[in-house]
A = this chain, B = another copy of it.
Amino acid sequence: MATFREATPEQAAYLRTLLEHGHLIETDAPGIYGHGEDLERVRNGLSAAVTRAAIPDAPEAMRFPPLFSRFQLEKNGYLASFPHLAGSVFSFDGSDAAALEQEAVAGRHEDWSAFQTMTDLVVLPAACYPVYPEIAKRGVLPATGATVDTGSAWVFRNEPSGDPGRLRQFHMQELVRIGHPDVVAEFRDAWLQRTIDLFGRLGLDVSSEVASDPFFGRVGRMLAANQRAQELKFELLALIGGPEPTAIASFNAHQDHFSLIYGLETEGADVTHTGCVAFGIERITLALFRAHGMDVAQWPGEVGAELWP
């Protein structure tokens, strides 16, 4: 079982406040929370605000379920970089007698894993992953490339924690850009500024920094250092639970990583790049509650106008 990461006292206090106001609903699985009505309103308003901010890019809308093809995860490199965060789906495929035995073992809360076998599905770890194989089916892209808005997609990172800013399953919304390297680079830079403006209208104080992904193990530390050195990832950070800010949005250059895996090609380009802007929807939502208080009815009018115009 993955190691539980204790919350700091400030994070634990913020979680208690969110639970007391019914914004989060505790379950007995750490990092898995239900949402109350007001949090859902903010979350949906925020996702719609991101989609509105993307109107100038005229992205295609594509929504994918929380479960994902195991074959594609095996193919796209995730298990090399983040084996500790991935979830795979198992199921039962046995006889009547085996089902009875499984139920008896499970009913005693003992280990029934031996009755389960691996399926063709995993839990989706990033909103953009189903997009690349779908776009690849189109063959050579026009010179303008492709732009996709994933909407709010449920994603999973198996890192149990008491910090409400570090959920195990949460919504990520991504804007994905595929095409000429300069087009993808411009998209990322434009969105960094556009997102700073959006967060400003939402009354969030943010800082930006060069960042790296939480790559696994010793090799991962080299990958992370390389990612920082090449400035492939920027993050915007805001206060959620504790006194240290947490990343709430990231701006990512994948260079030709996904293009090589999926054979993505663009008219007139020697090489096709991909990049994405990722919004941690629950993190931004919790940052809004931190900034403006637990009672949504008391939030500044201009924040409400941005969320629910």
Which chain B residues border A27 with CB–CB below 8 Å?
A: 64, 68-69, 72, 130, 133-134
Residues of B within 8 A of A67 (CB): 29, 32, 66, 87, 123, 156, 168-169
Interface assignment of A34: CB less than 8 Å from any CB of chain B: yes
Also in contact, A88 and B89, with CB within 8 A (given A63-B34, A113-B118): yes
Given A27-B69, A92-B84, does the pair A64, B121 have CB atoms closer than 8 Å?
Answer: no
Q: In the complex, A74 Cα to B112 Cα: how many Å?
A: 10
- Write the nearest CB–CB distance from A282 to chain B, whole angstroms: 10
Does the CB pair A117–B107 fall under 8 Å? no
- State how many residues of chain A have any CB contact under 8 Å with chain B: 74
Contacts A29-B68, A65-B169, A79-B103 known; A87 to B84 CB distance under 8 Å? no
CB-CB < 8 A to A61: which residues of B? 36-37, 40
Output the least CB separation between A19 and chain B (Å). 11
Is A83 a contact of B92 with CB atoms below 8 Å? yes
Partner of A66, one of B60, B103, B112, B154: B154
A residues whose Cβ falls under 8 Å from a Cβ of B: 1-2, 25, 27-30, 32-37, 40, 60-75, 79-80, 83-84, 86-94, 96, 99, 102-103, 106-107, 109, 111-113, 116-121, 123, 130, 133-134, 151, 154, 156, 158, 168-170, 216-219
